[in-house]
Structure 1
Amino acid sequence: MATTYFTEDHEWIRVEGGIATVGITDYAQEQLGDLVFVELPEAGKALKKGDVAVVVESVKAASDVYAPADGEIVESNAALSGDPALVNTAATGDGWLWKMKLADESQLSGLLDEAGYKAHIG
């Protein structure tokens, strides 16, 4: 079963079998407004926790999306190239940004659970 964690920077990370799927939260996409472009990372790119992994551009502004843990990109959501608004309509579903092989799952212990995240944005 997948476990979902959240960062204080409004990313979510869902881990299943050592592979993490990462995206931005509904709260984040609401704050950004309609997304018009998503700059996705290439497979094979190594990320350290806190690195900028993706840039999302909305009608309001461009924002960085940070890696919630160390790992290597294994896949980006190609559907976003043609339809960046998927992030707005399904931020925690089909609007995921990238998948990565985690280097150190113990880093997840510093992240928020759903209740902690809701209290954070409260």
Structure 2
Amino acid sequence: MTQTDTDRPLGRSIRRGLALRCPSCGKGHLMRTYLKPHDHCPACNEDLTHARADDGPAYLTILVVGHLMAFVIHFAFAVWRPEPLVMAFSLSTACVALSLFLLPRMKGLIIGFQWARRMHGFGDQPQEA
């Protein structure tokens, strides 16, 4: 096992990120606004300025929402046969709501992954004076 596996467990860090909590302590809030992470954890003062999620959260959100909604569309059409306009409005609303719910959680997941794997400066490097 590497040092990362023992002192920064990946599963725990990802769960904390999904819960929008600090991947280090699990107590402080990860985000200060909808998609903007804190510079430092309010509880343990962990430096979170190294978080670089880029397009990852959007990609994961589209992946999850697309797969879930494909199943829902198929199931709803096969079982209830709703009017096309009703189905379009209801599923569009569901897609937007689910996307807005998942997007910050996917960003937290990626930040937790990066923190656990010491990516993008999350490692224990000495600070320059």
Q: Same fold (TM over 0.5)?
A: no
- Structure with a larger share of its residues in strand: 1
- Structure with a larger share of its residues in helix: 2
Higher relative contact order (CA 8 A, sep 6+): 2
Q: Which has the larger radius of gyration?
A: 2
TM range (shorter): under 0.3
Structure 1 length-normalised TM: 0.23
Structure 2 length-normalised TM: 0.22
